Amino acid sequence: MDPSEIEQLIATGFDEPLVKVMSADNTHFEALVVAAEFAGKRPLARHQLVYKCLGTLVGNEIHALSIKALTPEEWKAAGQSGGS
């Protein structure tokens, strides 16, 4: 599966997110998701929101997925910027 396809699927689950997905082999992926919907949520709940966007692809076409899920404020505090 192409990382850009995964980016699009994740992006549909959030309002104005920043989504970047990387992969060296198109089965193991790393995702950065910056979304306001993560505010007040623990890491597990944030990851569940991302997994919900991908459904049954996780564990099948997406063999492994590492997720970094941040709010826009956390992203800015880390010294980053940019939009989707």
Residue 72 in domain: yes
Task: Give 10-67 pLDDT, tens digit per residue.
Answer: 999 999 999 999 999 998 999 999 999 999 999 999 999 999 999 999 888 898 999 9
| CATH number reported for the structural domain that contains residue 67 in this entry | 3.30.300.90
Cβ neighbours of residue 18 under 8 Å, at least 6 residues apart?
Answer: 32, 33, 34, 35, 72, 75, 82, 83, 84
Rounded CA gap, 84 and 73, in Å? 15
Residue 24 in domain: yes
Q: How confident is the model at residue 82 (pLDDT cuts 50, 70, 90)?
A: low
Residue 15 in domain: yes
Residue 59 in domain: yes
- Show the beta-strand stretches assigned E in 1-84: 18-23, 28-34, 64-70
Whole-Å CA distances, 56 to 18, 41, 42, 73, 80? 23, 23, 23, 31, 31
pLDDT at 80: 72
Residue 11 in domain: yes
Residue 28 in domain: yes
- What pTM was computed for the model? 0.90
pLDDT at 84: 45
> What is the number of domains present in the chain?
1
For residue 29, the enclosing domain spans: 3-77
Q: How confident is the model at residue 81 (pLDDT cuts 50, 70, 90)?
A: low
